[in-house]
Amino acid sequence: MKKFLLLLFLCASGSSFAESLVEHYSSSGQLIITQFVSAPFPHPKRAEGHTYHGEMFSAKDHYSDSSVAIFIPKGLRETGKLDFVVHFHGWRHHIGNVLPHYQPIEQLLESKRNAVLIIPQGPYDAPDSFGGKLEDAGGFERFMAEAVATLRQSSALQNTNFAVGNIILSGHSGGYQAISSILDRGGLTDHVAEVWLFDALYAQTDKFQAWFDKAHGRFIDLYTEHGGTKEETEKLMASLKQRGTSILEGKEGRAVAAALPQLQSGTTIFEGKEGQVKAADLQSNRLIFLFSELPHDDVVDKHRTFREFLETSCLGIMD
């Protein structure tokens, strides 16, 4: 019902969708929707558009929007370091429907986690995983520098001298490709504390594994039966087993996770079922594989899983 009312509100408003969204969330925090030079698009590799299954997606209609949404929750504590959650949407979406459809802002507010949410516009309503400028070397570092400058100039934050703290990279479906490139060559990898894939491990698996092997941050791979990610996920788990990584499952996994602090080193993975794992499962492990029976499009918000990952993350709690 909330999604329906928000969509109705946006459609009924005589102003632009950006103004409508900003107004809608004004009581909960500050939403900034602006244009970034460092945004994924436009990009030379899509200057002529993109063809998928014989259908042409023009550069003008699908690869020219440089919008970025930034949300600062009301009550955000300023500690000198500011943590970020950067979320990448999947195919055939744009910011104007990602926010009401998957409710990442609502889930951040429900979690009460002390972080700023950023959602860049990817390919606009196109079946394409290309991450644009965020696939370029140093592209993510430039993007975050522009985000910080925007916050210092345009937001309600009082402390303009904050530094970048922890960064969580989250992606649904085709959002995986931008994340893999960021981990491989985007810069700021020493700040990336967690990576969440919502039915999104289609390829570039070596880049995710290389990041984890080096950083030992929390990596969550949620996959489904028919979302196209199960085979790649099973290949990754098999590869980890071959190199001696043990797998914990179910109640046994929870018991061992609670008892063995060395799990924090990232040498053991936890395998469970989304909707059944407990917060302790998610907090005590670093390599986490969750199978979901939900449809591909429901994995972010149907069970408030984005909120659950936030609540068990490295992020602090707001006052």
With respect to residue 223, please indicate whether it lies within any of the assigned structural domains.
Answer: yes
With respect to residue 154, please indicate whether it lies within any of the assigned structural domains.
Answer: yes
Give me 197's structure tokens. 């894939």
With respect to residue 164, please indicate whether it lies within any of the assigned structural domains.
Answer: yes
pLDDT of 111 higher than 70: yes
pLDDT of 148 higher than 90: yes
With respect to residue 303, please indicate whether it lies within any of the assigned structural domains.
Answer: yes
Element (H, E) at 273: strand 268-273
With respect to residue 181, please indicate whether it lies within any of the assigned structural domains.
Answer: yes
With respect to residue 316, please indicate whether it lies within any of the assigned structural domains.
Answer: no
pLDDT digits (tens, 9 = 90+) for 178-225: 999 999 999 999 999 999 999 999 999 999 999 999 999 999 999 999
Give me 121's structure tokens. 């516009």
> Where do runs of H (alpha helix) occur along the chain?
2-12, 17-24, 59-62, 95-102, 104-111, 139-154, 176-181, 205-215, 230-242, 250-259, 279-284, 305-311
Number of domains present in the structure of the chain: 1
What is the extent of the structural domain holding 194? Answer: 2-311
With respect to residue 319, please indicate whether it lies within any of the assigned structural domains.
Answer: no
Q: What does R_g of the chain's alpha carbons equal in angstroms?
A: 19
Instruction: Record the pTM.
Output: 0.90
- CA dihedral (98, 133, 208, 123) in degrees, to 10, reads 30
SS3 (DSSP) at 243: coil
Quote the crossing angle between the two packed helices 2-12 and 17-24, to the nearest 10°: 130
CATH code for the domain in which residue 225 is found: 3.40.50.1820
With respect to residue 318, please indicate whether it lies within any of the assigned structural domains.
Answer: no
- In degrees and rounded to multiples of 5, residue 21 shows phi and psi of -65, -45
